[in-house]
Amino acid sequence: MAVMRLGRIAHTEGICFAIIDGPADAPLDQLVAKEISGTPFTPPEPTGREWPLSEVRLLAPTLPTKVVALGRNYADHVAEVFKESAEHLPPTIFIKPSTAVIGPGAPIKIPEFATNVEFEGELAVVISKVSKNIDPEKWRDHVVGYTICNDVSSRDLQFQDGQWARAKGIDTFCPLGPWIETDLDCINLDDQKINAYLTHDGKREQKQDSNTDQMIVKMGDIIAEISQSYTLLPGDVITTGSPAGTAPMVPGDTIEIEIPGVGSLKNPIERA
């Protein structure tokens, strides 16, 4: 399947889903947003309306009823944050609520009580249909495609609360985007770079420089296991955990998560 990106955009007259068209490696200002009728869950039918991407605003590409997230799924990140070997701390499931979701470019707003807030760049998938007990070998039949999730986390609340629902579920703490890449062959799940760049005081620095080869539970097994517990609904997001390199962000910073082949998700940090 050729590269195809499905996005959700705000244009001058409203909001719609759109094919984000153009060469895979073209800069954003050379891409075109082509409105489609319907949703990402049916074959896209262009309506004929289109805009240069620079004249519209990308929104979160999906409106999930829930974001199911994996914690401690990268060996390098477990060692970094939990000071433990991944053998002793297996991956664990948690939920980020729909109200935490924002799109590309929207500000991550940090309230006063959420201290030590870090980014976590993650590869995510968007569910395509009502699904339960998915066969790990057939996970591709249940997803629209890949997107990027920034699993923003207040490390202080995370360890103080024990449960992560608040530390990771605060409004704006779930940037998603920039779009859904529907070509599941666009990346190699066993050897895929995940990068994060933090701009602080005007200086851009690479913080995450990891690879899906550090993933403990792999995509098919993640989706299969989660779907044993939860019915997954169209638009729901499963995010597969963060590799090492997470670091604190403060108001005024900008964080960019890049997964080459999928895209780049950039958000400024503000005080709530």
Q: Which residues of the shown chain bind its own copies in the complex (CB under 8 A)? A: 65-66, 68, 71, 92-95, 97-100, 111, 113-114, 132, 161-166, 169-171, 228-233
Question: Distance between terminal CA atoms of the chain?
Answer: 42
Smallest gap from Cβ 160 to its own copies, in A, equals 9
Is the C-alpha dihedral spanning 157, 59, 150, 164 positive or negative?
Answer: positive
Residue 196 · residue 206 · CB < 8 Å: yes
- CA–CA distance, 35 with 16 (Å, rounded to integer): 6
| Closest distance of CB 201 from its own copies, Å | 28
Q: How far is the CB of 79 from its own copies (least distance, A)?
A: 17
**What is the b/e burial string over 139-171, where b = at least 16 CB atoms within 10 angstroms of the residue's CB?**
beebbbbbbbbbbbbbbebbeeeeebeebbbbe
Nearer to its own copies, 15 or 233 (CB): 233
Does residue 178 have a cis peptide bond before it, meaning omega lies within 30 degrees of 0? yes
Alpha carbon separation from 81 to 58, 90, 129, 269 (Å, rounded): 32, 14, 35, 22
Pick the closer one to its own copies by CB: 12 or 228. 228
Min. distance of Cβ 99 from its own copies in angstroms?
4
Q: Can you read off the two tokens belonging to residue 46?
A: 């262009």
Cα 1 to its chain centre, rounded Å, is 22
Q: Which amino acid is at 85?
A: S
Q: Which is nearer to its own copies, 208 or 227 (CB)?
A: 227
Question: Please, what is the minimum distance in Å from the beta carbon of residue 165 to its own copies?
Answer: 5
How near is the Cβ of 267 to its own copies at its closest, in Å? 18
Give the nearest distance from C-beta 39 to its own copies in angstroms: 18
Which region holds residue 258: left if phi is over 0, alpha if psi is between -120 and 50, else beta? beta
Q: How many CB atoms lie within 10 A of CB 89?
A: 15
Nearer to its own copies, 120 or 181 (CB): 120
